[in-house]
Structures are given as C-alpha cells and as structure tokens.
C-alpha cells in the first residue's frame, strides 16, 4: 500500500481521546474507533431505521445500516486513492448516522419541532451525543470514548449556538475552517451513496421510472451507455448497471478533481487542511451541477411522492404524540430514563427533561416507535 500523504490524518498525531487509554496492541487508534462503533447498540439499531421508505414497507430497500456500509465503501475507495487514512474514513462513515431518529428526515424534523423551546434537535449533534455520552457499555467511561478525529468527522454540521457549548470540537464552526480531509470526503461519500441508492430504491419501488429519470443529464448519459453496451438486458440488471455507473462517475470525478485541488494547494500537514476555509476535497463544477440536478429530481419526484408523503405524515404524528405524552408524563418512560426525567422535572428543569425524552425517542427504531405508540395510545394493547 502507498504511504499516507503528509497531510493525511495519522493515529500517531491524533489529538487523542477525552479519557486517556493505552494504545491497542494490534490495531491503530482509528481501527479501534471503527470497532467500537460496530459493537455499539446504536449501530445495530440502524438496521431498523430508514431514510425514505419506512422499514415495514419491504425488505428490498435501504435502511440506515446498509446505507452506512455503502458510505464506508465509497469513503474507503476515495481515501485510498488519495493516500488518505482509510480507517478513519471508515470509522466516520459507520458512525455518521448513529444519532438519526426513526422515520428518516420526517422523524428528525418532527423531533426538532417538539424540541424548539428546549434547545432543538440536530441529528449530527445527536450522533456525537451517542458516541460521547449515550452508549453505556464501557466500565471506565460513558459513550465510546472515540478519538478527536472520529468525533470531528461525525459532527458534520453544527449551529453556532451549539458549537459554542462544545469546546474544542465546536471551534471550527465558529472559525469557519475545515475538518480533516477524511471527514470532508466521507461527507461527500454520504451524498454519493444516498443519491445513488435513492435512485435505485425509487426505480425498484416503481415510485419513479426509467423514462422520467432520463431528464437528468448525468443519468441519461449513463443509461445510454448501458443500452449501447447491453441492448437486450432485462430491467432489473439495467437498473443496477445504471446505478453502479452513477456511483462510479461521481467517485472518479471526486478523486480526480480533489487530486488537482490538492496539487495546487500543496498542503504539507493536517494543520494546513484544518486552517483552510475551503474544502480541498470536492466534485468538479460540472459534477456539482449534475449532483444538484439529481437531488432536485429526487426531491420533486421521490421524496414528495404522495405515497412517501403519506407515510411521512404518519411518522411525524407518531413522533409528536410520543414526545408530548412522555414530556407531560415522564412516569410513562421506562425506569432508568423515567427516574432522570422525573428528577429534572422536580428540579423545574424542563430543558433537561425534554432532552431525556428526545434521547429516548431518537434511539428508537421505526418499528419500536410504532409499537411504543400503540402501547401508549391503544387501550387494547398490553404494556
């Protein structure tokens, strides 16, 4: 394997973990981060959380676990091609969605609305809360005690208000500087993954069709390429051949354009990357346009399809009703959280109480949220 670029993240130069630990014997620090993410409860629950399609709509669609694995695959390819740290990119990719609520974006929007008077809800910040505090597995610390570099990558976005409360990890949002290249590329790998797999799931579910999607230039080019090469291919294979070309075109563009940017910027150490106000890993302008066009198409045709919207509105109602009921009656929460929430209420601290409720709801899978809603509101359900 090629040596890492001198501006790559290296575990020997890591800014370390909040609680100091001995180095592992046969792994480096970022491999250990990745392994801790894989063994976390929040990671396992990703299997039953969805982005666009709600879990019980079928086993054929992506869930957040398969999405995170696809992001890790793309991020590792890009990291390796740019001589950056694959293990760190993988750790960030596998952890990046740990804080997502059930029911994808609908769930998060609804929970944020419920939390407006109590500090709001941001899924990136919640992913950080999961690895910093909410996982209760290790004897010596709360959370997973990950390295600064993994935590920096997990916190992709953050409001100024919240950044001020976060110390070191929040500083870059105030100074408007950049995280490591591994964090930057994993963020773009996330976009490549979801745009491409939403095309795939959208086509296979029949909510969008091959004819309609050719209004997008990038898709039309790749589709024509499949047709020219395999004129008699059945639809299922045609869709896969199209989607893999879409991913490949974006990945190749990202690698080549980033190489050119880095050659020109000539960073010599990770500090140069972190001091930079602009991204040094990016699509070409042309691919950026294609990417926006694809996103716009998905927004107008898939995410706002009436079947998706119906499910979305049901999901929002479930989250709103769960929040309202638990917040008003914290004694309905399971024992451990209930104790914390009730104590907060007795101390007249509604903000802390609301945060416990939000943590509980955000940790739910789609099916658990539906079951919990039934248990609370359907008198014929046993609890």
Q: Could you give the CA distance from residue 342 to residue 339 in angstroms, rounded to a whole number?
A: 5
Residue number of the CB atom closest to Mg ion: 190
Q: Least CB distance from residue 191 to Mg ion, whole Å? A: 8
- Give the pair of three-digit tokens for residue 144: 């997973």
| Contact predicate 110/207, CB 8 Å | no
Q: Least CB distance from residue 40 to Mg ion, whole Å? A: 16
Instruction: Write the CA distances from 233 to 193, 209, 213, 220, 230, integer angstroms.
Output: 24, 16, 18, 17, 6
The residue (of 29 and 97) whose beta carbon lies closer to Mg ion is: 97
Q: Could you give the CA distance from residue 129 to residue 40 in angstroms, rounded to a whole number?
A: 13
The residue (of 105 and 259) whose beta carbon lies closer to Mg ion is: 105
The residue (of 15 and 299) whose beta carbon lies closer to Mg ion is: 299
Q: What is the largest CA-CA distance in the chain?
A: 70
Neighbours of 348 (CB within 10 A): 8
The residue (of 95 and 353) whose beta carbon lies closer to Mg ion is: 95
Contacts with Mg ion: how many residues (CB under 5 A)? 2
Q: Least CB distance from residue 346 to Mg ion, whole Å? A: 38
The residue (of 190 and 372) whose beta carbon lies closer to Mg ion is: 190
β-pair partners for 17: 147
- Give the pair of three-digit tokens for residue 208: 């969008």
Q: How far apart are the first and last CA of the chain?
A: 56
- Give the pair of three-digit tokens for residue 1: 């394997």
Q: Least CB distance from residue 245 to Mg ion, whole Å? A: 22
Please tell me whether residue 241 binds Mg ion under the rule CB under 5 A: no
Q: Least CB distance from residue 189 to Mg ion, whole Å? A: 9
The residue (of 90 and 97) whose beta carbon lies closer to Mg ion is: 97
| Contact predicate 295/195, CB 8 Å | yes
The residue (of 47 and 272) whose beta carbon lies closer to Mg ion is: 47
Beta-carbon contacts of 264 under 8 Å, excluding residues fewer than 6 positions away, are: none
Footprint of Mg ion on 171-200 (CB under 5 A): 190
Q: Least CB distance from residue 194 to Mg ion, whole Å? A: 6
The residue (of 97 and 182) whose beta carbon lies closer to Mg ion is: 97
Buried b (16+ CB within 10 A) or exposed e, 272-301: ebbeeeebbbbbeeebeebbeebbebbeeb
The residue (of 65 and 337) whose beta carbon lies closer to Mg ion is: 65
Q: Least CB distance from residue 7 to Mg ion, whole Å? A: 25
Angle between helices 217-229 and 235-265 (to 10 degrees): 120
Beta-carbon contacts of 230 under 8 Å, excluding residues fewer than 6 positions away, are: 237, 238, 241
Footprint of Mg ion on 59-118 (CB under 5 A): 97
The residue (of 190 and 366) whose beta carbon lies closer to Mg ion is: 190
Q: Least CB distance from residue 109 to Mg ion, whole Å? A: 16
Q: Least CB distance from residue 166 to Mg ion, whole Å? A: 21
Q: Least CB distance from residue 315 to Mg ion, whole Å? A: 18
β-pair partners for 147: 17
Residues that bind Mg ion (CB under 5 A): 97, 190
């Amino acid at each position: 394997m090629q040596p890492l670029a001198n501006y790559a993240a290296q575990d020997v130069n890591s800014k370390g973990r909040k609680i100091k630990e001995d180095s592992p014997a046969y792994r480096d620090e970022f491999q250990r981060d990745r392994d801790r993410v894989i063994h976390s409860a929040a990671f396992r629950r990703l299997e039953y959380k969805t982005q666009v399609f709600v879990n019980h709509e079928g086993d054929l669609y992506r869930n957040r676990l398969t999405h995170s694995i696809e992001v890790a695959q793309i991020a590792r390819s890009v990291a390796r091609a740019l001589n950056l740290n694959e293990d760190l990119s993988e750790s960030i990719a596998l952890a990046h969605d740990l804080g997502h609520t059930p029911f994808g974006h609908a769930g998060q929007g609804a929970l944020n609305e419920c939390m407006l008077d109590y500090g709001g809800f941001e899924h990136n910040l919640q992913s950080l809360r999961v690895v910093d505090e909410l996982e209760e597995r290790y004897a010596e610390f709360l959370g997973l005690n990950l390295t600064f570099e993994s935590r920096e990558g997990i916190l992709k976005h953050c409001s100024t208000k919240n950044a001020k409360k976060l110390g070191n990890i929040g500083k870059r949002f105030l100074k408007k500087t950049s995280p490591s290249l591994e964090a930057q590329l994993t963020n773009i790998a996330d976009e490549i993954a979801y745009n491409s797999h939403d095309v795939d799931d959208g086509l296979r579910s029949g909510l969008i069709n091959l004819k309609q999607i050719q209004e997008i230039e990038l898709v039309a080019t790749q589709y024509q390429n499949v047709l020219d090469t395999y004129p008699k291919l059945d639809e299922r294979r045609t869709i896969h051949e199209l989607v893999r070309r879409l991913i490949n075109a974006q990945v190749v563009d990202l690698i080549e354009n980033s190489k050119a940017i880095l050659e020109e910027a000539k960073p010599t150490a990770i500090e140069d990357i972190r001091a930079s106000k602009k991204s040094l890993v990016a699509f070409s302008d042309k691919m950026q346009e294609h990417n926006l066009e694809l996103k716009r198409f998905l927004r107008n045709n898939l995410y706002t399809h009436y079947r998706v919207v119906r499910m979305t509105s049901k999901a929002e109602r479930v989250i709103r009703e769960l929040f309202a009921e638990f917040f008003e009656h914290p004694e309905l929460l399971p024992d451990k959280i209930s104790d914390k929430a009730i104590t907060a209420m007795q101390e007249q601290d509604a903000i802390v109480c609301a945060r416990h409720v939000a943590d509980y709801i955000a940790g739910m899978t789609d099916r658990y949220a539906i079951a919990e809603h039934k248990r609370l509101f359907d008198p014929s359900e046993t609890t």
